[in-house]
């Protein structure tokens, strides 16, 4: 999810990143809150299809992470995802990318509010849905008024919570001897989907774990030795896929057909688990949206304010008054935040929002658009086999993206 910041902030520092630092940055980009929904995705798909989809998404996004850099290499003054769009398709390419990023940012904000509200209900079971969203509104609002440098630790909190969650899920499963919630006595599971009509919902849930490609150009630019970029990507993907497979396998094995849309909801329902450890990870998950929300909304705030300040009426009204400028800036943030939370109230299901995020945006930004740029720039140099491979990936991902996006809006009782 932090991929979106590459259009507005720089990862680079005065000192370039070492190989290990670059791997950490890449893993931090890839592994996010989407890991919470992976066991639920396997509940929908069953073992065979879920594993196939997970490996397919891993392969194609690993490939496109390298394609993006090929599109940018050898072109001075370029180094961002938006630059790639401009190189391939002119100014319109950059405009399209900017528009897609704005919509994706709003969707990410909605997912963060839902996750925070759901975590609150897991910790305090008596809190109703509407109250959880209102509390989430209050808790995240101050982060929109903090400088970005004070929010920079959010990414670290997020990655720590993901690995802590995986560790505690495995510990809970091993220490509990009987079902439900045990790895020693697994719940019944399915090799193939039990409900074929629900399968498209899983496309986005699985793909949402591979969002982050817009930040890979910044990681490449920040490396001490850019020639090792492919190794960085491969190492990062090995760590990521091991994490994802472990979480999907453990969660689905422990809860089977009773796996909920967020694995933390299952953990909160089992009283036999170590409540201190489970409480710790639930609080980490609770803190993750708070720590990340302001960071993720900053590019959207900048875009909104740039638009508002371009209005002649606003310019005239604020021309000689700093207090009016501060007032307008504060109202922008408040109205944007209210809009995002309003969507989270209207669409309260975490799995649907993550499915939409994965289907519409992750497939589009991480796979489809990079391959279109690659073909536009290098089609004359590509071998026949490479053209066939790119065309096949494009065709498959177009279908998965369309079906997954449509299923994200279907009523819950239909799927």
Predicted local confidence at residue 159, as pLDDT: 79
Query: Mean pLDDT, consecutive 10-residue segments, the chain of 415 residues?
Result: 45 65 84 89 97 97 94 75 86 84 85 91 89 94 78 70 90 93 94 93 93 82 88 95 96 96 90 89 86 80 76 74 78 92 91 89 91 92 92 96 92 63
The 10s digit of each residue's pLDDT in 217-230 is 888 888 888 889 99
Q: HEC profile for the chain?
A: CHHHHHHCCCCCCCCCECHHHHHHHHHHHHCCHHHHHHHHHHHHHHHHHHHHHHHHHHHHHHHHHHHHHHHHCCCCCCCCHHHHHHHHHCHHHHHHHHHHHHHHHHHHHHHHHHHHHHHHHHHCCCCCHHHHHHHHHHHHHHHHHCCHHHHCCHHHHHHHHHHHHHHHHHHHHHHCCCCCCCCCCCCCCCCCCCCHHHHHHHHHHHHHHHCCHHHHHHHHHCECCHHHHHHHHHHHHHHHHHHHHHHHHHHHHHHHHHCCCCHHHHHHHCCCCCHHHHHHHHHHHHHHHHHHHHHHHHHHHHHHHHHHHCCHHHHHHHCCCHHHHHHHHHHHHHHHHHHHHHHHHHCCCHHHHHHHHHHHHHHHHHHHHHHHHHHHHHCCCCCHHHHHHHHHHHHHHHHHHHHHHHHHCCCCCCC
- As a whole number of angstroms, the distance between CA 72 and CA 377 comes to 10
Predicted local confidence at residue 4, as pLDDT: 44
The full set of domain ranges for the chain reads 2-408
Predicted local confidence at residue 42, as pLDDT: 97
CATH 2.102.10.10 fits 2-408, yes or no: no
Predicted local confidence at residue 371, as pLDDT: 95
- As a whole number of angstroms, the distance between CA 170 and CA 175 comes to 9
Which residue from 109, 103, 115, 111 is spatially nearest to 360, judged by alpha carbons? 103
Predicted local confidence at residue 105, as pLDDT: 82
What's the pTM? 0.85
Predicted local confidence at residue 212, as pLDDT: 76
């Amino acid at each position: 999810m932090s991929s979106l910041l590459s259009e507005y902030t720089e990862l680079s520092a005065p000192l370039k990143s070492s190989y290990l630092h670059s791997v950490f940055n890449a893993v931090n980009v890839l592994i996010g809150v989407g890991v919470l929904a992976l066991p639920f995705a396997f509940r929908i798909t069953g073992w065979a299809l879920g594993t196939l989809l997970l490996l397919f998404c891993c392969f194609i996004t690993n490939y496109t992470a390298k394609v993006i850099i090929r599109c940018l290499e050898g072109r001075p003054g370029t180094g961002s995802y938006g630059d790639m769009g401009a190189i391939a398709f002119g100014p319109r390419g950059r405009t399209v990318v900017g528009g897609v990023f704005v919509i994706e940012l709003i969707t990410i904000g909605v997912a963060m509010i839902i996750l925070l509200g759901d975590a609150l209900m897991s910790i305090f079971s008596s809190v109703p849905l509407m109250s959880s969203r209102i509390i989430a509104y209050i808790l995240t609002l101050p982060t929109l008024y903090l400088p970005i440098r004070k929010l920079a630790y959010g990414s670290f909190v997020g990655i720590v919570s993901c690995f802590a969650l995986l560790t505690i899920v495995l510990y809970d499963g091993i220490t509990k001897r009987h079902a439900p919630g045990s790895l020693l006595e697994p719940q019944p599971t399915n090799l193939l989907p039990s409900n074929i009509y629900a399968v498209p919902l899983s496309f986005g849930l699985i793909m949402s774990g591979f969002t982050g490609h817009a930040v890979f150009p910044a990681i490449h630019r920040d490396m001490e030795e850019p020639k090792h970029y492919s190794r960085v990507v491969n190492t990062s993907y090995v760590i990521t896929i091991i994490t994802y497979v472990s979480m999907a396998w453990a969660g689905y094995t422990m809860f089977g057909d009773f796996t909920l849309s967020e694995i933390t909801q299952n953990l909160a329902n089992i009283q036999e688990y170590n409540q201190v450890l489970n409480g710790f990870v639930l609080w980490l998950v609770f803190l993750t949206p708070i720590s990340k929300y302001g960071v993720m909304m900053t590019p959207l705030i900048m875009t909104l304010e740039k638009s508002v300040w371009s209005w002649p009426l606003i310019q005239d009204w604020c021309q000689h008054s700093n207090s009016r400028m501060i007032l307008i800036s504060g109202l922008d943030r408040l109205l944007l935040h209210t809009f995002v939370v309003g969507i989270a109230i209207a669409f309260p299901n975490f799995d649907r929002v993550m499915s939409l995020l994965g289907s519409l945006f992750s497939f589009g930004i991480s796979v489809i658009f990079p391959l279109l740029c690659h073909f536009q720039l290098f089609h004359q140099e590509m071998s026949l086999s490479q053209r066939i491979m790119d065309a096949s990936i494009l065709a498959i991902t177009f279908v998965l993206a369309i079906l997954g996006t449509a299923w994200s809006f279907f009523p819950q009782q239909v799927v």
